[in-house]
């Protein structure tokens, strides 16, 4: 494996909560109204310092999507997923965008979101139907 190049962002940064590798900027948030099995998740236009998993079809609340899991390049932790293909016409805006699970990242102020035992259930775009 070659040398690892990590992009350092400036501004309000979301980073991996395990190793603090920069992942995304606050200004790249498209939506904060996503949910996953563990609570909140944010949809971003752009993320950096991630590697991609294997493409797979997932049936989600909003329909069938082709997605890949995304992993922090610093520590290898799964931090979310990227939409490759949205099969429903109304969901095409998600293509090429990434979701970071809030409990896997640290916010711009360094705070971490902890999993709530009563996390939102059933409304997740990440949860399989």
pLDDT of residue 116: 52
CATH number of 13-106: 3.40.1480.10, 3.40.50.720, 3.30.565.10, 2.170.150.20?
2.170.150.20
Average pLDDT of the chain, as a whole number: 86
Answer yes or no: is pLDDT of 105 > 70: yes
pTM of the model: 0.84
User: What's the 3-state SS for the chain?
Assistant: CCCCCCCCCCCCEEEECCCCCEEEEHHHEEEEEEEECCEEEEEECCCCCEEECCCEEEEECCEEEEEEEEEECCCCCEEEEEEEEECCHHHHHHCCCEEEEHHHEECCCCCECCCCCCCCCCCCCCCCC
The percentage of residues in the chain with a pLDDT greater than 90, rounded to a whole number, is: 70
- pLDDT tens by residue, 42-80: 999 999 999 999 999 998 888 999 999 999 999 999 999
- Of the pLDDT bands very low, low, confident and very high (cuts 50, 70, 90), residue 119 is very low
pLDDT of residue 2: 59
pLDDT of residue 110: 75
pLDDT of residue 75: 96
């Amino acid at each position: 494996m070659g040398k690892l190049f990590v992009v350092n962002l400036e501004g309000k940064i979301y980073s991996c909560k395990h190793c603090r590798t920069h992942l995304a900027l606050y200004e790249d948030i498209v939506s904060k109204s996503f949910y996953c099995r563990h609570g909140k998740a944010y949809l971003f236009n752009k993320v950096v310092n991630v590697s991609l998993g294997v493409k797979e079809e997932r049936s989600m609340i909003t329909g069938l999507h082709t997605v890949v899991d995304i992993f922090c390049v610093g520590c290898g932790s799964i931090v979310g997923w990227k939409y490759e293909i949205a099969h429903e016409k109304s969901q095409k805006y998600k293509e090429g965008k990434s979701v970071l699970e809030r409990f896997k990242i640290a916010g711009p102020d360094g705070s971490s979101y902890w999993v709530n035992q009563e996390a939102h259930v059933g409304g997740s775009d990440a949860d399989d139907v």
